[in-house]
């Protein structure tokens, strides 16, 4: 029987939770840090490759068999992995015991606040499968009231989950710092709200928060097929935002606002935007504006308008793709608006703007996870925050 192929470990997980900014790098790696790192590497491999033997794990991670056996022993004791039976190893050697992650026996509560006033609260297993889901109406809720409603929804979801909940993840519009504090979220009326810290204290669980577009990007990396080398996930929802992953790390930016492309002016004489200016990217491609543009048009004129919006989007994306040498750009949002003439025109514009290089051209495509992207990204935040892999 041929061995299953075990992929090499992915780049070290994104530092979603801890920021090293302003801290001097320490020369010494403590044994406890090394153990935590090795445990995260083993968990990440089991997550991405499925059940394998201890010997396979040692080969794929470069760790010694003794170290792998110790880690697997700890994970068995913690109930995170299970022994799944023997795999025949061919004529030579004794059969190997397979170990696998107990994905279905652990749950995550994930919240998607991207399409406010509607919020989605779901219970997912570790594999990102939605076990149960509900929506909640946040109309008129701002500030402390919005926080209270969110905390109550999370509490109910944690209590209703059939399995042990390992953590809570939240994807929210606005600017979020590395510790899960919301610096500013205009839609929810939050400013300098230590959201992760306060929810964690209220729920007695680890809570992990990210900007909704960043969460969608992480989801494509963890649960989708997006390349770790460099991609941008453009989320078209209430507004337009983007999450950027470069060399396996989320790009946060100087003011934590990397990927905030929605209010770039693309047409100074265009429609008035909610930010008070005119012709922002949002006024061209956000569904509420786009639907208004398309209203009453014939199919041919509709197509022309969608292509025009796609060209404008492409013109914004091209310099980012060039500056960062991205491999892919993923779009997520309403398929009927984005997937067709708009996507095609955006791709043509990016292609036509960039200097042709010898390597493969940048790919523009719809995101694999679609409307569950933010929800699954919130779950991926928990995997990264609680277990150290993504
Ligand atoms: Zn604007």
Average pLDDT over residues 255-284: 94
3-class DSSP state for residue 192?
A: strand
Q: How far is the CA of 283 from the centre of ligand 1 (A)?
A: 7
pLDDT at 27: 58
Residue 64: band (very low, low, confident or very high) from pLDDT cuts 50, 70, 90: very high
Predicted confidence (pLDDT) at residue 70 exceeds the cutoff of 70: yes
Are the CB atoms for 243 and 216 separated by under 8 Å? yes
In a domain, 4, yes or no: no
User: Do 149 and 256 belong together in one domain?
Assistant: no
* Residue 190: strand pairing partners: 185
pLDDT at 22: 37
Residue 136: phi and psi, rounded to 5, are -140, 150
Task: Give the domain CATH number at 138.
Answer: 3.30.420.40
Separation CA 334–CA 172 (nearest Å): 18
Q: How far is the CA of 239 from the centre of ligand 1 (A)?
A: 9
Q: Are β-strands 249-250 and 207-211 bridged in parallel, bridged antiparallel, or unpaired?
A: unpaired
User: Do 236 and 337 belong together in one domain?
Assistant: yes
Q: How far is the CA of 187 from the centre of ligand 1 (A)?
A: 14
In a domain, 14, yes or no: no
Separation CA 251–CA 236 (nearest Å): 19
User: Do 236 and 311 belong together in one domain?
Assistant: yes
User: Do 170 and 268 belong together in one domain?
Assistant: no
Residue 72: band (very low, low, confident or very high) from pLDDT cuts 50, 70, 90: very high
- The two tokens of residue 248 are 């396996």
DSSP string for 224-246: S---SSEEEEEEESSSEEEEEEE
As for how many domains the chain has, the answer is 3
pLDDT at 355: 82
Are the CB atoms for 81 and 72 separated by under 8 Å? yes
* Helix spans in the chain (H): 31-49, 54-61, 65-77, 143-160, 195-203, 212-222, 281-285, 287-294, 299-324, 335-338, 341-353, 373-382
In a domain, 60, yes or no: yes
Q: How far is the CA of 287 from the centre of ligand 1 (A)?
A: 14
Q: How far is the CA of 156 from the centre of ligand 1 (A)?
A: 36
Predicted confidence (pLDDT) at residue 343 exceeds the cutoff of 50: yes
Strand arrangement of the beta sheet that strand 175-176 belongs to: 175-176, 182-185, 190-193
In a domain, 25, yes or no: no
Tens of pLDDT, residue by residue over 243-259, are 999 988 899 999 999 99
- The two tokens of residue 275 are 């930010």
pLDDT at 371: 86
In a domain, 256, yes or no: yes
User: Do 210 and 258 belong together in one domain?
Assistant: no
Q: How far is the CA of 259 from the centre of ligand 1 (A)?
A: 14
Residue in 139, 105, 145, 138 with CA at minimum distance from that of residue 124 = 105
User: Average per-residue pLDDT in the chain?
Assistant: 90
Tens of pLDDT, residue by residue over 129-162, are 999 999 999 999 999 999 999 999 999 999 999 9
User: Do 363 and 377 belong together in one domain?
Assistant: no
Cβ contacts of 249 within 8 Å, gap of 6 or more: 11, 14, 15
Tens of pLDDT, residue by residue over 170-208, are 999 999 999 999 999 988 999 999 999 999 999 999 999
In a domain, 49, yes or no: yes
Separation CA 321–CA 327 (nearest Å): 8
Q: How far is the CA of 274 from the centre of ligand 1 (A)?
A: 6
Q: How far is the CA of 272 from the centre of ligand 1 (A)?
A: 8
Q: How far is the CA of 142 from the centre of ligand 1 (A)?
A: 21
Are the CB atoms for 103 and 46 separated by under 8 Å? no
pLDDT at 42: 96
Percent of the chain whose predicted confidence (pLDDT) is above 70:
91
User: Do 173 and 305 belong together in one domain?
Assistant: no
Q: How far is the CA of 264 from the centre of ligand 1 (A)?
A: 7
Residues with CB under 5 A from ligand 1 (ion): 263, 273, 275, 280
Cβ contacts of 2 within 8 Å, gap of 6 or more: none
Q: Supply the range of the domain harboring residue 359.
A: 227-367
User: Do 267 and 297 belong together in one domain?
Assistant: yes
Average pLDDT over residues 33-46: 93
pLDDT at 17: 35
pLDDT at 214: 95
Residue after which a domain boundary falls, among 101, 126, 160: 101
Residue in 197, 167, 154, 201 with CA at minimum distance from that of residue 179 = 197
Residue 23: band (very low, low, confident or very high) from pLDDT cuts 50, 70, 90: very low
User: Do 57 and 185 belong together in one domain?
Assistant: no
Q: How far is the CA of 93 from the centre of ligand 1 (A)?
A: 66
Q: How far is the CA of 240 from the centre of ligand 1 (A)?
A: 10
pLDDT at 294: 95
Tens of pLDDT, residue by residue over 84-107, are 999 866 656 778 899 999 999 999
Q: How far is the CA of 117 from the centre of ligand 1 (A)?
A: 19
DSSP string for 79-115: TSEEEEEEE---SSSPPEEEEEE-GGGEEEEEEE-TT
Residue 382: phi and psi, rounded to 5, are -70, -40
In a domain, 18, yes or no: no
pLDDT at 95: 85
Are the CB atoms for 297 and 251 separated by under 8 Å? no
Task: Give the domain CATH number at 40.
Answer: 1.10.10.10
User: Do 235 and 358 belong together in one domain?
Assistant: yes
Q: How far is the CA of 242 from the centre of ligand 1 (A)?
A: 15
- The two tokens of residue 265 are 């002016």
Average pLDDT over residues 313-341: 95
Average pLDDT over residues 305-331: 96
Are the CB atoms for 245 and 251 separated by under 8 Å? yes
pLDDT at 238: 81
In a domain, 293, yes or no: yes
Global pTM?
Answer: 0.87
Predicted confidence (pLDDT) at residue 123 exceeds the cutoff of 80: yes
Q: How far is the CA of 281 from the centre of ligand 1 (A)?
A: 7
User: What is the distance of C-alpha 143 from the center of its chain?
Assistant: 25
Q: How far is the CA of 265 from the centre of ligand 1 (A)?
A: 7
Predicted confidence (pLDDT) at residue 290 exceeds the cutoff of 90: yes
Tell me 269's DSSP state: T
Q: How far is the CA of 238 from the centre of ligand 1 (A)?
A: 12
User: Do 199 and 319 belong together in one domain?
Assistant: no
């Amino acid at each position: 029987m041929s061995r299953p192929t075990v992929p090499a470990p992915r780049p070290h997980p994104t530092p979603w939770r801890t920021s090293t900014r302003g801290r001097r790098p320490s020369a010494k790696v403590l044994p406890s840090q090394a153990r935590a790192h090795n445990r995260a590497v083993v968990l990440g491999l089991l997550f991405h490759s499925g059940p394998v033997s201890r010997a396979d794990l040692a080969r794929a991670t470069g760790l010694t068999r003794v170290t792998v056996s110790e880690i697997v022993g700890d994970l068995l004791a913690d109930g995170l992995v299970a022994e799944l039976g023997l795999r025949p190893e061919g004529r030579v050697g004794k059969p190997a015991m397979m170990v696998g992650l107990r994905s279905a026996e652990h749950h995550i509560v994930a919240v998607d606040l991207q399409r406010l006033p509607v919020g989605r609260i779901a219970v997912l297993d570790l594999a990102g499968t939605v076990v149960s889901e509900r929506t909640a109406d946040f109309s008129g809720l701002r500030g402390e009231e919005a926080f209270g409603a969110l905390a109550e929804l999370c509490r109910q979801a944690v209590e209703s989950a059939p399995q042990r909940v390992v953590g809570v993840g939240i994807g929210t519009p606005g600017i979020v710092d590395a510790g899960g504090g919301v610096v500013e979220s205009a839609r929810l009326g939050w400013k300098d709200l230590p959201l992760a810290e306060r929810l964690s204290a209220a729920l007695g669980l680890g809570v992990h928060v990210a900007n909704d577009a960043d969460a969608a990007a992480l989801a494509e990396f963890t649960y989708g097929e997006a390349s770790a080398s460099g991609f941008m996930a453009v989320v078209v929802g209430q507004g337009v935002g983007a999450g950027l992953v470069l060399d396996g790390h989320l790009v946060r930016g100087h003011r934590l606002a990397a990927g905030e492309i929605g209010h770039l002016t693309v047409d100074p004489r265009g429609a008035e935007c909610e930010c008070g200016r005119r012709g922002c990217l949002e006024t061209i491609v956000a569904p509420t504006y786009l639907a208004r543009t398309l209203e009453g048009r014939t199919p041919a004129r509709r197509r022309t308008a969608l292509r025009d919006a796609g060209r404008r989007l492409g013109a914004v994306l091209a310099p980012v793709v060039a500056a960062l040498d991205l491999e892919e750009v993923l779009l997520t949002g309403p398929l009927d608006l984005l997937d067709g003439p708009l996507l095609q025109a955006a791709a043509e514009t990016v292609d036509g703007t960039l200097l042709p290089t010898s390597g493969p051209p940048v790919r523009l495509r719809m995101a694999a996870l679609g409307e569950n992207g933010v929800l699954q990204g919130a779950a991926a935040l928990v995997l990264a925050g609680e277990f150290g892999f993504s």
